[in-house]
Amino acid sequence: MSMRPAGVLALQGDYEAHAKALLAAGASRVIEVRRLDQLDEIGSLVIPGGESTVMGMLLDRFGMFDALRNRIEQGLPVFGTCAGLILLARRIEGSDQTRLGVLDVTVRRNAYGRQVDSFHTDITTDIPEVSTIDGIFIRAPRILETGPGVQVLARYHGDPVLVREGNVTAATFHPELLPGAPVHRWFLSLAGAGA
C-alpha cells in the first residue's frame, strides 16, 4: 500500500464530502490540497464536483496547473467526479476552458438539460467489489466519445458514466454521497496497488 496520504483538491466544490468518503473508505489520512507543495505529499488525488471552469481558473492562478498535470502524467492515481471529470477530459464540446487533458474522452457539460438537472438511478458497474450503486447525477456531464485506451466500467442508457485510463479514473456522477464509499474504497485499492 502507498504510505502517502490521499489528497482531495480543495479549491472549490464538494471536496469535504470526498474527504469524508476517503476516510470512510479506509484512508488513514486525507490532505485537502490547496497549495503547490502539497502535491508532493499525496499518494492519490480526488478532484471533486463543483464548477470545472472555476477549478481550472484557480489551479492556474495558484500556479498548480502544470505541476498537477505533470504528476498525473507521471502516474499519480487520480479520480475526478463530475466537474473533476470535465477538468481531466481531453475534449470539451464547444468549450476552450482550461483542462488537464489527461483522459482521452469527449464530454458535453450539463448534458442532461434543465428539466432533469439532477436525478438518481441504479448503476451497475463491472467492478465486483462495487457492484450496483445508486448513481447520483447533478448537472452531470455526458461522455460522448472514449479513446481506445479508455476502459468503460459502467454505463447509463448506453453512455459511459465510470471510466478508467491507466492511473486516471473518472465518474460523471457523485459517488462521494454513497454510504460506505464503495467507489472510493475501490479507487484507494487501485492507488495502493500502484495503479
Classify residue 32 by burial, with Cβ atoms within 10 Å: 0-12, 13-18, 19+.
middle
Q: Which is nearer to ligand GLN, 13 or 77 (CB)?
A: 13
- Is 176 assigned a catalytic role? yes
Q: Which stretch binds ligand GLN (CB under 6 A): 19-27, 47-55, 161-169, 181-189?
A: 47-55
Q: Kindly state the smallest distance separating residue 123's Cβ from ligand GLN, in Å.
A: 16
Query: According to the binding rule CB under 6 A, does residue 43 interact with ligand GLN?
Result: no
Q: One symbol per residue from 100 to 119: x for binding ligand GLN (CB under 6 A), - otherwise; what is it? A: ---------xx---------
Which of the following is catalytic: 18, 165, 174, 184?
174
Query: According to the binding rule CB under 6 A, does residue 52 interact with ligand GLN?
Result: yes
Please say whether the beta carbons of 74 and 35 come within 8 A. Answer: no
Query: According to the binding rule CB under 6 A, does residue 83 interact with ligand GLN?
Result: yes
Can you tell me which of 36, 139, 152, 192 binds ligand GLN, judged by CB under 6 A?
139
Q: Which amino acid is at 169?
A: T
Q: For residues 31 and 81, what is the distance between their CA atoms, to the nearest angstrom?
A: 18
Query: According to the binding rule CB under 6 A, does residue 170 interact with ligand GLN?
Result: no
Residue ranges of the alpha helices (H) in 25-157?
A: 52-61, 65-73, 83-88
Applying CB under 6 A, what is the total number of residues that bind ligand GLN? 11
Query: According to the binding rule CB under 6 A, does residue 172 interact with ligand GLN?
Result: no
Strand (E) positions, 73-116? 78-81, 89-92, 103-108
Q: Which is nearer to ligand GLN, 43 or 184 (CB)?
A: 184
Pairing status of strand 151-156 against strand 159-165:
antiparallel
Judged by phi (left if over 0) then psi (alpha if -120 to 50, else beta), residue 74 lies in: alpha
Q: Which of 91, 88, 169 is nearest to 127 (CA)?
A: 169
Q: For residues 146 and 12, what is the distance between their CA atoms, to the nearest angstrom?
A: 27
- Is 120 assigned a catalytic role? no
Task: Kindly list the catalytic residues.
Answer: 82, 174, 176
What residues line the site for ligand GLN (CB under 6 A)? Answer: 49-52, 82-83, 86, 109-110, 138-139
